[in-house]
Structure 1
Amino acid sequence: MGALVIKGDAQQFMDTSSTGRSATPSRRHTEARTTDSGPASPLPFIRRNSFWLALSLLLCLVSAVGAFFVQTNGATVAVKDMRWETSSGRELSALLFKPDTATAENKAPVIVVSHGWWNSREMQDANYVELAKRGYVVISIDMYGHGNSDPLPLGGESENGTGMYDAVKLAAQLPYIDPAKIGIEGHSNGARAANYSVIADNQAETPLISAVLLVDNEAFYTDLEDPTTYVNNYGARDVGLVADQYDEFFFRSYDADGAALTTPREFVGTPNAQSFLHFGEGDSTDKRTAGEYYEQSVDGEDAVRVLYTPAQTHPWGPFSKQTTEYTIDFFEKTLGAPGPLAADSQTWQIKAFFNAIGLIGFGMFLVAFTKALLGTRAFAGLRRTEPFQLNPSTRKGLYWFWGALVVSALFSGWSYIALSQSTALAPIIYNSAPTFIVQGAPFFIGLWAAINGVFSIVVMVVSYLLFGRKNGQNLREVGILPGWKAILQSIGLGLVVVVAAFGIVFLVDYFFKTDFRIWVLAVKAFTPDKVWIAVLYLPLFLVYYVANSVAINSFNRFTIRKKEWVNTAILALFNALPVLVLVIAQYWTFFVTGDLIPGFAGIFGIWLFPVIVILAAAAVISRKIYRATNNPYLGGFIIASVVTVISVTNTLTVVS
């Protein structure tokens, strides 16, 4: 990304942008050999790396043990991984949390909780940690099409609440639960699953659900066959609704032409909200407010309605202390808490901290284990054996460097917005039409990545022809032409590293029932079918991450102010900068105006949250691997493989 000046011959060459989506100029690094007696001994290299490998494994272990003790409340809550064939004819996956206090003689309330679309059962950790700690039995499901559950049939969202009602029926049979105290809670499309579960429960000979909390999705306000008539679809059940003031998808009112009349932060005053708080009445003049519990007799039973309106966004719901307080308060009031604690006495954040430590350890392991394998006979040929010294960039090289960064960022942001507005891609992205692409979200992100990877390759070629070749760039010396043997070795080494890294994830899942994550970025265990789906999408991610690694390392490696880490930091920043700018622009507009940027749908902004971290980390990881190998393909292959697996294991799978 800049030009390096080599004393004596003034050789320079062109480099590509840090985003991997364009090229920038940079000077070729030179190897300042310090020995004439042949390759240096690998022992110092191995010893230096042993510390980091041991530290990465230690972080993974500390993460697993720490998260385990928090989610089991000091080993007083048993955690079971359940998978069973339901009455819907599909396998449903769930985590069962059973406190020691729940027995056949001392039956406990049970709450079935669900994540939203494109997520998994672990996204409900705030709820299952806090509710189980208070004595509730909790079942956190993978909705059909998510996590370890069977794929979702096209159009099967309403069938038995996408699996939630199947879990309710199982819960009712457990010997240690009180069948009169069954609650359900869902976030986003998990709330829609709760709504459909209520409909299924209404049709059952013996209704099972007594309390419902809907988080970040609309309630069913009107008659399901006549949307102009407000009714009480929930009967005598207790129902709560969490409506975020900055929800990207819901809680707006519209005129007859579909134009928005109110923003989410005005929801409490809308007819829908007032009807909900008035138990289905549509013409009440009594204006009810958020945060108040309203009671009314329905069919001879006392029922509760409550509306919460926190000032937060839709994806923040599962990670919100405030929403977790609402959940605790609601179920304590409606089902009673076997072991009541103050709602603000929460420890799930400690689990989140340990999960994040594991995510850091996982990333460190990718680098440290790669370097460790370079000390083995099978992969020693990939190890760089000659020390070298980087020189600073020239002024001309810096012009190319910064100019290409700007071009890269603009193209990256523009291409993402253009793809998000494509009507042709919409049925594929949302899995709303029959197609061989069973996961729309990873396909969209992968396609965007591949387009930017191709753009990067084009710019690198242009850069080389116009600047690099006539300034002494040697493609073989910077690792762009390593030879087929080195490329095949890189693929083999990359596979070993990726398999070993996810092997740690599976061990942690097996022994501790935890994973590595922070908010919407998760590295978790998965079912075998995800491997074949990953193979389908891997080429898209390979185009980008290999090009990105070549751009960062073979074209853009030099010193700034005599420090290489400054160069690495700039590359990491610009890798993520276009994504970061889009997210900031989206939410700044939302907070100021009360609504999103016109034409930029909310889900496309949400999908970028984990991408910010991944792109920044990709620059650092690929740089560290390149320093040890002089091979830009190895780091690109490892990162592409890991990102592909992460993508396909944290999303929705739909089959036609």
Structure 2
Amino acid sequence: MKNMKKTVILLVLSLLLILVGSFSASQFNSSSGDVDVSRIYFDTPRGELSGLLYKPEGSDEQPRPTIIATHGYLNSGEMQDAQTIEMSKRGYVVLALDQYDHGHSTGTMEKPVPFFSFWPQAIYDAVQYMYDQDFVLKDESGNGIMAVSGHSMGGFSSTHAVMLDEMDFQETGIRKIFSSLTMGSDYQWLRSLEYTDEIINNSYGPRTSGKIAGIYDEFFFDADAAAAGAPVVKKNYIGTAEGQGFLGNPENPAAGTIYEVNGGKRVIYQPNETHPWNHFSKTSTEYAIDFYDMTFADYSNIVTVDADGQTWMYKEWFSFLALIGFFMLFIPVVSLLSKLPFLKNVYSGRPDLLPEAKTNGSKLAGLFLIVIGLLFPALFFSALYSGDLYGMRLLRQVSMVFITISAIALIFSMVKKSERTITVVSSIMLVLSVVQYVILRNQDTLIATTEFFGAPTVNPVLYWALNVAIVTLMIMVGYHYIAKKPEGATIKSYGIKVSIKTVLAAFVTAIAAVAIGFGILYLADALFKVDFRLWTLAVKTFEDQHLVALLKYAPLFFIYYFIVGLSVNMNTAGVKYDGFKGYFVSIVHFIGGLVLYLGYQYGLLFTTGTAGYTGESLSSIIVIGLVPVLLVAAIFNRYFYRKTGNVYVGAILNTVLMTLITLANTALYTIF
């Protein structure tokens, strides 16, 4: 009865955090109700686009200057919250757009090279739709009073939209785009479409155009560094030929200074920020506000100009509060579900705690497992994610050494009829080494974006996770037979050996818990038009294609969550780790190495101007997103093992929940 009371209190507290967080976030998101926020869908020649439309009160009667803002490769329209909230509360109509095959948008075009399918036309297709809406302001000549803005690939889409609009202007005499502001994007990918800098710069015409170019941007703003394969260095875009060409090649150009070019105005801002930092920055948001104040100064009778103060961050903090409530919710929900007749089989009895290691060898083996669990995921992340030549070669060589040693040990044990343990361990090691070698040899094939596995940024994460799982399993096998088994440990001690009923109950419980959690998310979305998020970590609504993708990816991610979770259970099965230390070890296993990776990468970048891994731009940003996801997974893994006595609830819950969160927040190509 006492435990039930605690469960109910935690359930109420979780729901209260979600309610308070979502309601408060919606108040800042909608400027206390002065802005109507709704999700819209519209058909285009290339598929269906979706976005959150922010319409200030009175915009149906008095058309407004309009901004279309969009995201980069890894995100969705909600990542533009800062300028979306700030500009809509100042009276602008704003569309926070999901690009094709991101968020709620779907691209039905052919995709011979998927990367070049989602961004080149996304913004301009949205411009066509928005231009036809009565609430979008046009001048007396029919020109649209509309700005386009985007971060990263969204910035390339915005610049390309300006170019397409200028081409159409030559035929129609109408410019639908009045202004453009890009963040975290230069001309790199536009050159891949065979445009020259001169063509791009001339396409701006008389428009007011700006660029926010972070000094520590991991990708862009230094063409020489990018060409050398080492883009993660300190930048000075305004000192490059490209940046100066954008500004019209003035003498001694300065960041933040407005330059007159071809009858228009151009400016480059250079905050001390990284690529993803632009999303969560008062500095960059202030630059955006100043830019739009300048751009739309002639329309100060319709929109608010020169207003100080920012409130978007309050929406973010309250959304974070709801996010905390969302993750907390799974603890009481699983507990209550397990009270049901069949689902009570989820409990298998908590294994007896093992005594502390008695020998120095056992202690050393345990320490070795922790150290490898900490370092391997980080040391080889760049190799496994990005295909670093030297790292992959080293991994293959080590794999071949293990194959050789395991084969020799197996043959020796069979010829000499050694004790069964040697035969078992060498056999398992041989099989795992061969499997890993095959996986390592076929990296390009296994991480390729295909019709079946259509999430290009998830595929290499999955590849990394499977390799981490294999190495972890190899260490676990050796650790069990060398150190744990002599102390009396069995597979039951780690929460593996349970009945079929327990496994089925764990599966149903985890699926039901995720369904309940996302059901509450959808309710919050319907009532308040917000999701649960902080910066790059977001739990958001999804489309049917994300559920289909979940069925494809989840079984493979389960291998990772199951084995790493098992590793944590093995290393915390002793009395020493019964309390807080057990959770600490679990967190270290899951994210310790990745945190060290980020510290090394960005510590050097900020202090010396050169990152630890200068060629790792995308992979470093992926790690930033992985850390909070795996932090929650580490806590769930430890908690549900202690609660149920087995690894299955935590592993299945982490698999379904974290995989769905990941897929809903990145590119997912569904039609080829």
Q: CA, structure 1 residues 402+333, in 2 after alignment: closer, same or farther (shift >3 Å)?
A: same
Is 1:473 the counterpart of 2:489? The answer is yes
Is 1:362 the counterpart of 2:321? The answer is no
Is 1:227 the counterpart of 2:183? The answer is no
Match of 1:96 in 2: 53
Match of 1:166 in 2: 125
Structure 1 counterpart SS, 2:137: strand
Post-superposition Cα deviations, 1:499-527, rounded to whole Å, max 9, x if no partner, equal 11111111111221111111111110000
Give me the CA root mean square deviation: 2.8
Match of 1:143 in 2: 99
User: Would the aligned equivalents of 2:351 and 2:495 in 1 still touch at CA under 8 Å?
Assistant: no
After superposition, residues 452-491 of structure 1 pair within 5 angstroms as 452-491=468-507
Post-superposition Cα deviations, 1:73-107, rounded to whole Å, max 9, x if no partner, equal 00110011101111x24111111000103233x22
Match of 1:190 in 2: 154
Aligned mate of 2:588, from 568, 573, 577: 573
User: Would the aligned equivalents of 1:293 and 1:304 in 2 still touch at CA under 8 Å?
Assistant: yes
Provide the rounded CA distance (Å) in 1 between the counterparts of 2:493 and 2:117.
Answer: 59
Provide the rounded CA distance (Å) in 1 between the counterparts of 2:325 and 2:550.
Answer: 23
Query: Normalising by the residue count of structure 1, what TM-score does the alignment of the two structures yield?
Result: 0.85
Q: CA, structure 1 residues 536+216, in 2 after alignment: closer, same or farther (shift >3 Å)?
A: same
- The structure with higher relative contact order (CA 8 Å, sep 6+) is 1
Post-superposition Cα deviations, 1:425-470, rounded to whole Å, max 9, x if no partner, equal 5687584xx6542111111111211221222222222222222222
After superposition, residues 109-508 of structure 1 pair within 5 angstroms as 109-151=65-107, 153-154=110-111, 155=113, 157=116, 161-179=120-138, 180-204=144-168, 205=172, 206-219=174-187, 227=196, 229=198, 231-254=201-224, 264-278=234-248, 281=249, 286-296=251-261, 298=262, 302-336=263-297, 338-340=302-304, 345-383=309-347, 396=360, 397-422=362-387, 425=443, 431=449, 436-508=452-524
Structure 2 counterpart SS, 1:440: coil
Post-superposition Cα deviations, 1:362-402, rounded to whole Å, max 9, x if no partner, equal 11112221111122222223236789778666574543332
Provide the rounded CA distance (Å) in 2 between the counterparts of 1:386 and 1:579.
Answer: 31
User: Would the aligned equivalents of 1:67 and 1:354 in 2 still touch at CA under 8 Å?
Assistant: yes
Provide the rounded CA distance (Å) in 2 between the counterparts of 1:329 and 1:384.
Answer: 61
Q: CA, structure 1 residues 264+162, in 2 after alignment: closer, same or farther (shift >3 Å)?
A: farther
Q: CA, structure 1 residues 435+422, in 2 after alignment: closer, same or farther (shift >3 Å)?
A: farther
User: Would the aligned equivalents of 1:576 and 1:615 in 2 still touch at CA under 8 Å?
Assistant: yes
Is 1:623 the counterpart of 2:638? The answer is yes
> In structure 2, what residue type is equivalent to 1:453?
A
Match of 2:11 in 1: 53
Tell me the CA shift for residue 610 of structure 1: 2.1
User: Would the aligned equivalents of 1:428 and 1:437 in 2 still touch at CA under 8 Å?
Assistant: no
Provide the rounded CA distance (Å) in 1 between the counterparts of 2:94 and 2:296.
Answer: 13
Q: How many residues align?
A: 600
Match of 2:414 in 1: none
Tell me the CA shift for residue 108 of structure 1: 1.1
User: Would the aligned equivalents of 2:582 and 2:638 in 1 still touch at CA under 8 Å?
Assistant: no
> In structure 2, what residue type is equivalent to 1:168?
V
Structure 1 counterpart SS, 2:236: helix
After superposition, residues 561-600 of structure 1 pair within 5 angstroms as 564-598=579-613, 600=615
After superposition, residues 518-537 of structure 1 pair within 5 angstroms as 518-537=534-553
Match of 1:29 in 2: none
Provide the rounded CA distance (Å) in 1 between the counterparts of 2:354 and 2:13.
Answer: 29
Structure 2 counterpart SS, 1:178: coil
User: Would the aligned equivalents of 1:325 and 1:344 in 2 still touch at CA under 8 Å?
Assistant: no
Structure 1 residues not aligned, in runs of 5+:
1-42
User: Would the aligned equivalents of 1:252 and 1:262 in 2 still touch at CA under 8 Å?
Assistant: no
Provide the rounded CA distance (Å) in 1 between the counterparts of 2:206 and 2:463.
Answer: 48
User: Would the aligned equivalents of 1:123 and 1:318 in 2 still touch at CA under 8 Å?
Assistant: yes
User: Would the aligned equivalents of 2:316 and 2:534 in 1 still touch at CA under 8 Å?
Assistant: yes
Structure 2 residues not aligned, in runs of 5+:
139-143, 389-441
Range with greater deviation from structure 2 (349-358 or 580-589): 580-589
Tell me the CA shift for residue 417 of structure 1: 2.2
Match of 2:27 in 1: 69
> In structure 2, what residue type is equivalent to 1:227?
T
Provide the rounded CA distance (Å) in 2 between the counterparts of 1:262 and 1:372.
Answer: 48
Q: CA, structure 1 residues 222+115, in 2 after alignment: closer, same or farther (shift >3 Å)?
A: closer
Q: CA, structure 1 residues 632+314, in 2 after alignment: closer, same or farther (shift >3 Å)?
A: same
User: Would the aligned equivalents of 2:348 and 2:502 in 1 still touch at CA under 8 Å?
Assistant: no
> In structure 1, what residue type is equivalent to 2:373?
S
Provide the rounded CA distance (Å) in 1 between the counterparts of 2:197 and 2:538.
Answer: 42
User: Would the aligned equivalents of 2:547 and 2:660 in 1 still touch at CA under 8 Å?
Assistant: yes
Q: CA, structure 1 residues 528+348, in 2 after alignment: closer, same or farther (shift >3 Å)?
A: same
Post-superposition Cα deviations, 1:585-619, rounded to whole Å, max 9, x if no partner, equal 11122223423345642000000112111222222
Provide the rounded CA distance (Å) in 2 between the counterparts of 1:418 and 1:354.
Answer: 38
Provide the rounded CA distance (Å) in 1 between the counterparts of 2:194 and 2:470.
Answer: 50
Structure 1 counterpart SS, 2:458: helix
> In structure 2, what residue type is equivalent to 1:114?
T
Q: Which has the higher helix share?
A: 2
Structure 2 counterpart SS, 1:481: coil
Range with greater deviation from structure 2 (535-544 or 401-410): 401-410
Provide the rounded CA distance (Å) in 1 between the counterparts of 2:615 and 2:236.
Answer: 21
Match of 1:604 in 2: 619
Provide the rounded CA distance (Å) in 1 between the counterparts of 2:566 and 2:363.
Answer: 18
Range with greater deviation from structure 2 (605-614 or 398-407): 398-407
Structure 2 counterpart SS, 1:101: coil
> In structure 2, what residue type is equivalent to 1:47?
K
Provide the rounded CA distance (Å) in 2 between the counterparts of 1:325 and 1:429.
Answer: 39
> In structure 1, what residue type is equivalent to 2:35?
V
Tell me the CA shift for residue 125 of structure 1: 0.7
User: Would the aligned equivalents of 1:421 and 1:599 in 2 still touch at CA under 8 Å?
Assistant: no
User: Would the aligned equivalents of 2:231 and 2:614 in 1 still touch at CA under 8 Å?
Assistant: no
User: Would the aligned equivalents of 1:479 and 1:631 in 2 still touch at CA under 8 Å?
Assistant: yes
> In structure 2, what residue type is equivalent to 1:99?
P
Match of 2:40 in 1: 82
Provide the rounded CA distance (Å) in 1 between the counterparts of 2:364 and 2:383.
Answer: 28
User: Would the aligned equivalents of 1:370 and 1:625 in 2 still touch at CA under 8 Å?
Assistant: no
User: Would the aligned equivalents of 1:534 and 1:645 in 2 still touch at CA under 8 Å?
Assistant: yes
User: Would the aligned equivalents of 1:95 and 1:141 in 2 still touch at CA under 8 Å?
Assistant: yes
Q: CA, structure 1 residues 92+378, in 2 after alignment: closer, same or farther (shift >3 Å)?
A: same
Structure 1 counterpart SS, 2:492: coil
User: Would the aligned equivalents of 2:148 and 2:181 in 1 still touch at CA under 8 Å?
Assistant: yes
User: Would the aligned equivalents of 2:350 and 2:642 in 1 still touch at CA under 8 Å?
Assistant: no
Q: CA, structure 1 residues 378+649, in 2 after alignment: closer, same or farther (shift >3 Å)?
A: same
> In structure 2, what residue type is equivalent to 1:361?
G
User: Would the aligned equivalents of 2:351 and 2:492 in 1 still touch at CA under 8 Å?
Assistant: no
Provide the rounded CA distance (Å) in 2 between the counterparts of 1:539 and 1:159.
Answer: 28
Tell me the CA shift for residue 295 of structure 1: 2.6
Structure 1 counterpart SS, 2:42: strand
Provide the rounded CA distance (Å) in 2 between the counterparts of 1:120 and 1:572.
Answer: 28
User: Would the aligned equivalents of 2:350 and 2:644 in 1 still touch at CA under 8 Å?
Assistant: no
Provide the rounded CA distance (Å) in 2 between the counterparts of 1:261 and 1:526.
Answer: 33
User: Would the aligned equivalents of 2:219 and 2:231 in 1 still touch at CA under 8 Å?
Assistant: no
